[in-house]
Amino acid sequence: MFDANVLIAAIARSGDRAAFAELFDHFAPRVKGLLMRGGASAELAEEIAQETLLSVWRKAAMFDPAKASASTWIATIARNRRIDVARREIRSRLSQVYEILDDEGPQPPDETISAAERDTRVRAAMTKLSADQYRVVELAFLEGLSHQDVATHLAIPLGTVKSRLRLALSHLRSKLEDLR
């Protein structure tokens, strides 16, 4: 009978490869499915699932069955990995947008400094959004999807998309108020 707690303990105790293989075979497809339901592509979900289970291998000694079940612990690792990937993607896309904006021609030195400060502040404010808000802003503003398309893509109600956008924009406005 499959017992993830026993397998994780064997991995932590002696680096048991057979236990890890069994754990991997059980959880990899589940983690991938969880990520795909959350909006990740099959390729990205596969990559994050592998990274997640590699973290389980490395951090098996940190697992405490008194705090959470093995599946909850593994799902939390996967969720955190997905958030990290989303933040990296946003930073990369923002950098591309700013590069395009900066290619509009030479600017006076004062404006260049101001633009650099603005870029830094906007990036910092974006990283403070919740993962859900960040993803909705990314899809709506950086990828140019309509609110309805965002809702369809994330499999959430249109009202939820609008609410997350409103909260995200409100947060960004408050953080960037002095840039207006």
Higher pLDDT, 10 or 174: 10
- pTM beyond 0.85, yes or no: no
Chain position carrying tokens 């991995």: 11
Q: Around Cβ 133, how many Cβ atoms within 10 Å? A: 21
pLDDT band at 110 (very low <50, low <70, confident <90, very high): low
pLDDT tens readout for residues 69-95: 999 999 999 999 998 888 888 777 777
List of domains in the chain: 4-83 (1.10.1740.10), 110-179 (1.10.10.10)
Average pLDDT over residues 103-129: 69
Q: Among residues of the chain, what percentage have pLDDT more than 70?
A: 87
Range name among 84-93, 127-136, 158-167 with the lowest pLDDT average = 84-93
pLDDT band at 171 (very low <50, low <70, confident <90, very high): confident
How is residue 143 annotated by DSSP? S
pLDDT tens readout for residues 15-30: 999 999 999 999 999 9
Q: Is 36 exposed, middle or buried (0-12, 13-18, 19+ CB in 10 A)?
A: middle
pLDDT band at 102 (very low <50, low <70, confident <90, very high): low
Looking at residue 180, its pLDDT comes to: 52
> Is the pLDDT assigned to residue 139 strictly greater than 90?
no
pLDDT tens readout for residues 41-76: 999 999 999 999 999 999 999 999 999 999 999 999
pLDDT band at 107 (very low <50, low <70, confident <90, very high): low
Side-chain-side CA neighbours of residue 36 (13 Å): 13
Query: CB–CB of 127/92 below 8 Å?
Result: no
Q: Among residues of the chain, what percentage have pLDDT more than 90?
A: 51
